Structure formats: structure tokens, C-alpha cells
Chains A and B, each alone.
Chain A
Amino acid sequence: MKGPIELPDYAYEHLERYRPLLGEQWDRFLDALRRPLPVAAWRNAARVDEASFENWFYNVEPGVTLERLPWFDRGYRLWAAEASEAAEAPAGGLRTPDPTPGNRAARALGLLHLQEEVSMIPAVLLGAQPGEQILDLCGAPGNKTALVASLMEDRGTIVCNDTDIKRLRAGRTAWSRLGFSSIAATNHDGGSYPAPTESFDRVLVDAPCSGEGTSRRNLSSLRPAPPDYYRMLHRRQRRLLERALQLCRPGGRVVYSTCTYAPEENELVIADVLAARRAGGRAGSGLTPVPARLAGLESAPGITRYDGAELGGELENAMRVWPHLNDSGGFFVAVLEKRPRE
């Protein structure tokens, strides 16, 4: 059984800046960071129905116990079967995530795709429909793209863009294994993506970020950052979001997400983009931050004040997923809808 994660001193020092945001939940937050991250995956509904999927793990690969995610009917957690049985007894120990999820036949056959639970959130909130044209602006290695394709029943157009062609190619292997024919990869800087404005129905901006929310599988994400780090990331993220809003058609939707806790990379990016559009004379900015909520998923609202500044009440509609709320990684999502043209 995997033991608890020992957080180094630098992690505590780094995380201290979030204590005011967590208040009484601080200890639960730290406890969650010390636990091994559950293995999660989603079922490829185009390939296998729910009964056959669960039957597969009962009859063919019985070393895994499936636990359905309460907020996404295709999502599961994969636990080592022995450990989960033990956990049901009053042993008080930690449940053991499936130790070899990458070696499962179910993965090779494209019956499922491994993806951290919180990483499924933006693809679900994007709400893409079959036949639509979707852009994943910073998409490599293409896992969220794959889930969007699955939710669109592999019908329409999904463009997975990234500046890193090697990571894009890794996506191609996964898309092929899953059998998705609706995806094209492009290799451009997302901030200056070379397509006409209003080209896409929906745009996903899973922005490059400091990755603090991934510490349960990558502790180095909590290492001390250079003084200008957040400001540099903020500039890049804002540029990506602004381009995404240009590329989305009126009436369309843009989902902005990161796997970090830093307000500079989250609410402050949204607040600055909204303020800039309002300053540009667009009535009401033409944008509506709509509630990013999913039934069954515990989350906190976006913050509306930070570092003495008012960010705007509409930021409450954003979603913060702290690791202790769902025993997951940390995540931030905002959903912006562009007003239809009158």
C-alpha cells in the first residue's frame, strides 16, 4: 500500500500564502495533499456501454475496483481491489490506487482513458455538442481534447493546438487508441492563433500554469517560485484568454482553466480581461461569467477580493476545486459566454 506523502518544508512555506483563502479548512487541505492521488479514468462510451465496461473489470481484469464519480456518469476511480476491500474494514488505512493503470488491457483497447478527475471538469463544462467546431487552444498532450471528442460522439471538428509538437504527437497515439477521427492538431502560439475571429463555437483554454494543484503527483510544483513568476504567467494566460474570446463566435462559450491555486493565474486573469473589454467600450463587455458548477462535485466559488483589491462579484461564478473537497488535485475553472449578436 502506498504510504502518505511527506511534504517538504518548502511546500509548507509555499502554501502558506493560501491559508487566508482556506480559513478553517487549512488542516483538511494539508491532509489531502499528504494522501496518494486516486487514479481516475473515463469510459469511452463510443466503444463500450456501462454494463460491458463494469463487466470487463469483474470478469477480465478483476484486480480493480471501480468507483463511479458522483458528478460524471462516465468517470470512475480505479482502486486496487485488495486494498479497497481492506479499506471497507475498519483498518483506518489509505485506499491504494490501482498501481498499474497504464498496463490494463482496457486502456490498450480504448475502453477507458486515464485522466485525473479534476482534468475532466473543463471538458464537461465546455458543453460541446456533436457537429460543432471546437478549439482546445493549449491542448497538448490532448487528454481534455479526447474527452471533448468523446462527449461530441466523435462528430464535428476538434482542433488541438499547442506550441509543443512532441506533446501533440503523444496525443495522437491516445486519440487513435480511442478511435477518434474528429481531431486535428495544429502547432501555433495560442496567443496569436492564426484563424479568423469568431471561427469556433467553443474554445477551451487550459492555460499553462504553475501547476500547484498537481502536487500530489508532482511535489516539485510547490518549489519556491522566482519573484516575477506569477506576473509572467498572468501575462501569458491573459493573452491566451483574450485570443480565445476573439476566436469564439457570438453566443459561444469559452472555458478557462488552470491546475493552480494562485489567484494571479485565475480570478485576476478573468477580472483583467473583463475590465479591459469594458474599457474598450463593449457594453457589459459582451461576456457573461456563468456559474461553473457540477452537481455532485464539491467546489468553492471564485474569490472576489484579493490583496486588497475588489475583483467583482461575478467572479463568484468561477469554480475552485481544493484537493480536500473531492480527494482530488487542485483546479480552477471559469466559464464565459459571449453574448449572441442581436
Chain B
Amino acid sequence: MSNDARANGAPGNGARGNGAHRLRLAPGCRLIDPMPYLSLLEERFGISAAQLREQYVFFVGGNKYLYSLCAEHRLPPGPEVAFSGIKFMRISMKVPKLTTEASILLGARASRNYVELEADQLRAYFARQEIRLDTAASSACTGPGYVLVRHEGVTLGSAYLNPRDRNREPEQSPEPGAKPDAGAQHGAELGDRPLLRSWFPKHWSQVITIR
């Protein structure tokens, strides 16, 4: 079912009452065609865009974020929605990026460009430090750039995989959403022991303590 059909009140699972249940969004939000963004995810991570469209509808509230909402979501007429769904992707950047929440949500679905950390690397990841990976840890990565980070079946968030300059200072690593430089384009070599820069959220990194 298309986003438009849902917005026009096509009956969904469990419609009841006077039958006027339909997808309703907060004022200022509008459904959009998410395919340009979902295609990016499919290309980079192998996450099926078709599956995401089955599971969610996508809308924007302003120009900064794409939001996801359960595709079965239906509301009766009357109550005004204050907000709904979750922030899915930051789309105002040169390179749209999954939010941390969505990265964690989708991490298990990624079939490429994910990194498996060892237990002794978790502290560095949560502290937003750089981690030098061995070849096996980055074996699912097709090239430099944005990757999802996992540990024993649990997705931890995202990071930036930088192959080029082992001596690069941490502050010179790109921030999330920065325009990729030449070395971070698809097809670039990862090389030996690439460098992983954690994008774990700063506010969490300041409070989490693990041994």
C-alpha cells in the first residue's frame, strides 16, 4: 500500500467504531516518498527498502528529519496528534544518516558494512574513541565510510570506518553527515587494520560506565 493510500484512510487492520480510523499525523508533518533515502540504506547496508516500506510509513516534520511510523497505525477522528513515530534519518545533511535509534533498530538487518566488536573494544566504542580493527572485524565492509556496529547479536550504533591514514588525528575524522572525501568513496581500499571512529551519542558516553 502506498503512503498516499494510507493517508486517504484506506481501511487497515482492526478498523472499528465509525470506520473513520486512518493514519493521522501531527500538524506540520507530511508523508513523503522515502525511496531516495531507503535506497541509500539498501545500497550501503543491504537492508531491504521494500521490507521497510511494508513495515513503516515515512514522514517529515520540517526539513531536518525523516520519521518512521508503524504502517498499521490508525487513529480515530478528534484527538490532535502532538507527535508520533521515531526519528529515523537525518536528511538535512549532505549524506543522509540514520539516527542512532534507527541504527540500533536496523543493525541486525544489515548484511554488509557492519563491524563486529570484541568485548574488550566496547569500552572504547562507548567512550567515542577510535578503534583499530583487524581484518576479520571489517570483513563485511565493502569500503570506507559509515558502518553499523554490533557485538554478539546486539547492535550498538554507528561509526565511521576510515582506511586511509593511520596517523590521522581523531579530530580530523569526519563528523556524521560530512561530505565523504575521495578516500571514503565506494571502491576505495580498506587496507590493513582500518580505523573505526565511534559515533556513539555524546550524552550517553558521558554517563555509561562498563568495566
CA distance A277 to B80 in the complex (A): 29
Tell me the complex Cα distance, A198–B17, Å: 5
Residue contact A61 to B86, C-beta cutoff 8 Å: no
- Bound state CA distance, A172 and B26, in angstroms? 14
Residues in chain A near residue B82, CB distance under 8 A: 165, 168, 184-187
Partner of B208, one of A52, A104, A175, A249: A104
Complex contacts, A194 vs chain B, CB 8 Å? 78-79
* B40 interfacial by beta-carbon distance below 8 Å: no
A208: Cβ under 8 A from any B Cβ: no
Q: In the complex the two chains form, what is the Cα distance from A131 to B71 in whole Å?
A: 10
Question: A131 — which chain B residues lie within 8 A by C-beta?
Answer: 13-14, 72
Contact of A188 among B13, B79, B83, B209 (CB under 8 A): B79
A62–B122 Cα gap in the complex (Å)?
13
Of B17, B21, B68, B99, chain A has the most CB atoms within 10 Å of the CB of: B17
Interface membership of B76, Cβ < 8 A? yes
Cβ-defined contact, B101 with A176, below 8 A? yes
Among the 9-residue stretches B131-139, B151-159, B167-175, B176-184, the one with 4 or more Cβ atoms under 8 Å from chain A is B151-159
> Given the known A-B contacts A131-B72, A180-B86, A184-B75, are A60 and B210 also in contact in the complex, defined by CB atoms under 8 Å?
yes
Q: Which B residues lie within 8 Å of A109 (CB)? A: 104, 154-157
The reply to whether the CB of B81 lies closer than 8 angstroms to some CB of chain A is yes
Chain B interfacial residues counted at CB < 8 A: 50
- A156 to B70 CA separation, bound complex (whole angstroms): 7
Contact (Cβ within 8 A) B68 A133 = no
* Contacting residues, chain A, for B193 (C-beta < 8 A): none
Q: With a CB–CB cut-off of 8 A, which chain B residues contact A102?
A: 207
Q: How far is the CA of A323 from the CA of B81 in the complex (A)?
A: 37
Contact B56 A181 (CB under 8 A): yes
Q: Cβ of B92 < 8 Å from any Cβ of A?
A: no
Is B87 part of the contact surface with A, judged by Cβ < 8 Å?
yes
User: A52 touching B153 by the CB < 8 A rule?
Assistant: yes
Set of chain B residues within 8 Å of A179, measured between Cβ atoms: 86, 101-102, 104-105
Residues of A69-124 whose CB lies within 8 A of B: 100, 102-105, 108-111
Q: Do residues B72 and A155 form an inter-chain contact, with CB atoms below 8 A?
A: yes
Chain A residues with Cβ below 8 Å from B157 are 109
**B77 CB within 8 Å of chain A:** yes
In angstroms, Cα B90 to Cα A12, docked, is: 54
Question: Nearest-CB distance from A53 to chain B (Å)?
Answer: 9
Write the nearest CB–CB distance from B23 to chain A, whole angstroms: 9
Is residue B112 contacting chain A, with contact meaning CB distance below 8 A?
no
Q: Mark A225-265, 1 if CB is under 8 A from B, else 0.
A: 00000000000000000000000010000000000000000
Given contacts A103-B207, A181-B68, A249-B16, 19 further A-B pairs with CB under 8 A are: A60-B151, A61-B211, A100-B209, A103-B208, A105-B210, A111-B154, A131-B13, A133-B16, A133-B21, A157-B75, A172-B83, A179-B105, A181-B56, A184-B24, A194-B79, A196-B17, A199-B16, A199-B21, A201-B16
14 A-B pairs with C-beta separation under 8 A? A52-B152, A61-B210, A61-B211, A105-B210, A109-B155, A132-B14, A133-B75, A154-B70, A157-B14, A179-B102, A182-B72, A183-B84, A184-B85, A196-B76
State the A residues within 8 Å of B (CB). 47-49, 52, 55-56, 59-63, 100, 102-105, 108-111, 131-133, 154-157, 159, 161, 165, 168-169, 172, 175-177, 179-188, 193-201, 249
Closest 3 CB pairs of A and B: A184-B84, A199-B76, A182-B70
